[in-house]
Amino acid sequence: MADISIELLGLRFKNPILTAAGPTSRDGMTLLNAAAGGVGGLVAKTVSVKPADVPKPNMAALKEGRVGSRRGILNAELWSELPLETWLEREYPIALSAGLPLIASVGYTPDDVREIAPKLEKAGVQAIEYSTHYVGGHVEIAKALRDAVDIPIIAKLSPKVDVAEVAKSLEPHVDAIAAINTYGPCLRVDIETGKPMLGSEMGHGWMSGSALKPIALRCVADIASTVKIPVIGVGGVATGEDAIEFIMAGASAVEVCTAAILEGDVIYGKIAGQVKDWLDSHGYESIKDIQGVALPHLKQGITLEPPPTVDLDKCTRCGLCEKSCVFHAITVKKKENLFVIDPEKCEGCGMCVSVCPFYALSY
């Protein structure tokens, strides 16, 4: 049975799935609920010198049409609406009672974090993540934190910067990098009213969820290829396979926000269980066995000599590949148990390989 526990920042996590700063980590009770849902470690909602004045509404689901499947969220939630004192006196102690590693999140300026961080350390949090979402000056904030506390520091990066460059400049000053925060600004309009779906300025919101995942994954790979300190992946993790993808791209652990908003606290344990099952079914013993395995391939590149190989035992003749083959190279007939690729027509685009839910096609 695979061991999915990890050691990160000198802390032991029973699994590599952490909460992320957001509404699903907004206070002590919410973090306790995440612990009950099977999460491996706690990252709390960002706190700052003043409580946030949050616009309403501040969350809108991203879906295909009105009833389509949910792919993510636009949010304009800002940081915690609770005063820092409430976190120090009530919320962190409640969260600590879960017995899991607790990482606080702070923002935003060097002066802000210098004032707040020692109080967080005194409250017993085991590491501090800082968000650079609304301000630049990454190194100045890292230095201010390093001077202010002895516990490990994690810099959380926005996808709008050159993450590899920023990570390199931060490497001497922080213990880990978390990537990424939400992407934006973005917009959604309610077509019944013609109004924006969010109450923020110009209706602007920041995107998270599965639409963010490829951006986050690229950022994690860029950072992991550039620095030696650990990288925590965040952005669109909703399944064990998503988490595996991040770990293969170099992440030591992942944080989950949107999937927990959309699916509830059970999602953490579900993702952790799927990671374990995947490792077991593929003959791996631990997270370390797969960490960063994609990185050398990214440098070398891959190529497909068309057509792709098909494993007819795995193929269920579902026809998804045929539907998405723009070159009309694939013919599938379920009743006749037929699957044919025409090598003359196949251009080697790779779409069918990525579409197949049964991993029946490969390069």
Ligand X SMILES: Cc1cc2nc3c(=O)[nH]c(=O)nc-3n(C[C@H](O)[C@H](O)[C@H](O)COP(=O)(O)O)c2cc1C
Give the interface with ligand X as residue ranges (CB under 6 A). 20-23, 45-46, 59, 73, 75, 77, 79, 105, 131, 133, 156, 181-182, 208-209, 212, 234-237, 256-259
Task: For residue 328, give the nearest of 304, 353, 345 by alpha carbon.
Answer: 345
What is the C-alpha separation between 337 and 163, in angstroms, rounded? Answer: 48
What is the C-alpha separation between 253 and 12, in angstroms, rounded? Answer: 12
Taking the least distance from each CB to ligand X, the nearer of 48 and 126 is 48
Taking the least distance from each CB to ligand X, the nearer of 18 and 352 is 18
Taking the least distance from each CB to ligand X, the nearer of 242 and 322 is 242
Find the shortest distance in angstroms from Cβ 107 to ligand X.
7
Beta strands at 231-234 and 253-256: parallel, antiparallel or unpaired: parallel
Find the shortest distance in angstroms from Cβ 167 to ligand X.
16
Find the shortest distance in angstroms from Cβ 74 to ligand X.
8
CB of 319 closer than 8 Å to CB of 332: yes
Taking the least distance from each CB to ligand X, the nearer of 13 and 79 is 79
Taking the least distance from each CB to ligand X, the nearer of 61 and 315 is 61
CB of 130 closer than 8 Å to CB of 105: yes
Task: For residue 224, give the nearest of 167, 276, 268, 303 by alpha carbon.
Answer: 167
Find the shortest distance in angstroms from Cβ 182 to ligand X.
5
CA 235 vs. chain centroid, Å, equals 3
Question: Tokens at residue 151, please?
Answer: 């516990």
Strand partners, 59: 75
Taking the least distance from each CB to ligand X, the nearer of 15 and 208 is 208
What is the C-alpha separation between 29 and 64, in angstroms, rounded? Answer: 33
Find the shortest distance in angstroms from Cβ 332 to ligand X.
34
Taking the least distance from each CB to ligand X, the nearer of 236 and 308 is 236
Find the shortest distance in angstroms from Cβ 82 to ligand X.
11
Taking the least distance from each CB to ligand X, the nearer of 62 and 96 is 62
Find the shortest distance in angstroms from Cβ 217 to ligand X.
11
Find the shortest distance in angstroms from Cβ 183 to ligand X.
9
